[in-house]
Amino acid sequence: MLFSNITVFNSDGETLPRHFVLVEGEKIRYLGLEDPRNLPEFREIAEAEEIYAGRNKVMIPGFVNAHCHVPMTLLRGYGEGLALHDWLEDRIYPFEDHMTEEDMYWGSLLGIAEMLQSGVSSFNDMYMRIEGIGRAVLESGIKANLGRSLAGGPDDRFKLTAAYRETEKALEMSKASNGLLVIDAALHAEYSSAPSLAGELLDYAKGRKLRMQVHLSETLKEHEECKARHRGKTPTEYFADLGLFDLPTVAAHGVHLEDSDLEILNHYDVTLCHCPTSNLKLGSGIARLRAWKEHGIRICLGTDGASSNNNLNMLEEITLASYVQKGFERDPLFLSTTELLKMASVNGALAQGRNDTGYLAAGMAADLVIVDFSAPHMQPVYDPRDNLFTTAQSSDIALTMVNGKVLYRDGSWPTLDIEQIIRQAQKIRDEKLELIQGGS
């Protein structure tokens, strides 16, 4: 595909008006001011491609949703008005007990469709029955790092757990995925995992050279109870002593991190994923992003699960992160548009170990998004970067491309049967409610 006369907004803050972008196969082949049809080395390729007119449109790197639980789209709106631990114990866990691998597959397709519609080209996920999630990833064409979340007590042995079996199967599945699917290790949290079990997971992950996903200091209750359990150690200190941060790690939430924690996380080059909507909805608090930045932490953005958000819309997450932090810091200059795009794109890609995406340039993976600026709420335009992160909605996403393949365009999903996905989601909802209510 040849994008002509389009404005490119890159993750380093550079704005490139009236550019041409040529995609061939999975890569960006050319990006520049000159029409590649006039350049001998690109003419034959460019003339064979579809021309996409860039008038009133802006190209940005694809977003990376760096923390979510995508099958939880099936629990959207279930368990409203509860604090995190009550929400988990009274609503989420009982529902999840009845979820099958097939349910995970359909819930994942529903969530992937939603993410593609809001410009997401890749996501991090830590959940269960991940073969179902993996199937959905491969069928849709989106990129994902999946981890089978581990929780358990001191009597559990990792190699006897479902997490071990599912991770082994998912690793086999990923071998034929052409890099779309990457398998990580995932530890649910300090409070849900015995030290001995967590240690066995770490040994396994190190042997397999896996990355790590973990929940970290999401609530004050979690943070303080860990200190009570472990002689004053915070979750960060506990995990550092355990050796968890020896692996490349994405830690989600971090609402109640102390300055000493941030020093440790910086030392181990841990990436923190900010999930502002979920943290606000569940009453967990507001993360101290200025302190994160001052300690040199790489920051990315995530939606968390649709049951605690209640959507997977990264545009909303970007805008909320910006506004909440400006208010929290009483500083309207805090978090520039460039910083926000970095958090939502290249920082997440680097946290996934994907070094060929998150930035638009020749030779990079063609993971890109087209935003249409023609709607009334997008006009007039003085600086497209400001409109993108203050007024743009998911309805303004005109196209999402992953590895050079169009996965969403103008209200349609070429790789997905959206009507069937919605029917299946409704059917699963009815089945699970009947099972839960029948057992109560």
For the segment 131-162, what is each residue's pLDDT rounded down to a tens digit?
999 999 999 999 999 999 999 999 999 999 99
Pairing of strands 51-53, 2-9: parallel
Q: Give me the amino acid identity at 189.
A: A
pLDDT of the residue at 440: 52
In the structure encoding, which two tokens stand for residue 188, read together?
Answer: 């649910």
Give the whole-number percent of the chain exceeding pLDDT 70. Answer: 100
Give the Cβ contact number of residue 418 at 10 Å. 14
For 155, the token pair is 């009597």
Residues 184 and 171: their CA atoms lie apart, in Å, by: 9
What is the DSSP code (8-state) at residue 92? I
Structure tokens at 53: 């007119």
Question: What are the start and end residues of each CATH 2.30.40.10 domain in the chain?
Answer: 2-61+362-409
Cis peptide bond N-terminal to 380, omega within 30? yes
Backbone φ, ψ for residue 232 (5° rounding): 90, 0
Cα Rg of the chain (Å, integer): 22
Residues 6+ apart with CB under 8 A from 125: 68, 69, 70, 133, 144, 145, 146, 147
Tokens standing for 4? Answer: 């002509």
CATH class of 63-351: alpha beta
CA distance 406 to 303: 23
Sheet holding 181-187, edge to edge: 63-68, 120-127, 143-150, 181-187, 212-216, 249-253, 271-274, 299-301
Q: pLDDT tens across 26-56, in order? A: 999 999 999 999 999 999 999 999 999 999 9
Q: How far apart are CA 383 and CA 128, in angstroms?
A: 43
Report the predicted TM-score, pTM, of the whole model to 2 decimal places: 0.96
Domain ranges in the chain with CATH number 3.20.20.140: 63-351
The per-residue pLDDT for range 168-209, each reduced to its tens digit, is 999 999 999 999 999 999 999 999 999 999 999 999 999 999
pLDDT at 79: 80
| 378 token code pair | 């997008």
What distances in angstroms separate CA 39 from CA 46, 167, 183, 324, one per listed residue? 9, 48, 41, 47
Q: Smallest Cα–Cα separation from 348: which of 124, 108, 147, 182?
A: 124
User: Does residue 129 have a pLDDT over 80?
Assistant: yes
Q: What digits encode the pLDDT tens for the residues 244-287?
A: 999 999 999 999 999 999 999 999 999 999 999 999 999 999 99
**pLDDT tens digits, 282-337:** 999 999 999 999 999 999 999 999 988 999 999 999 999 999 999 999 999 999 99
Cα separation, 253 vs 305, whole angstroms: 12
The whole-angstrom separation of Cα 69 and Cα 95 is: 14
Q: How far apart are CA 149 and CA 147, in angstroms?
A: 6
Average pLDDT value over all residues in the chain: 96
Judged against a pLDDT cut of 90, whether residue 433 lies above it is answered with no
> Ramachandran region of residue 330, left (φ > 0), alpha (ψ -120 to 50) or beta?
left
pLDDT tens digit sequence for 88-100: 888 888 888 899 9
Q: How far is CA 5 from CA 1, 58, 103, 209, 276, in A?
A: 13, 10, 43, 43, 35
For 1, 84, 225, 351, the CA distances from 432, given in Å and listed in that order, are 44, 21, 33, 35
Measured CA to CA, the distance from residue 298 to residue 335 in angstroms comes to 13
Contact present, 74 and 25 (Cβ < 8 Å): no
Distance, CA of 435 to chain centre: 31
2-61+362-409 folds as Urease, subunit C; domain 1 (2.30.40)
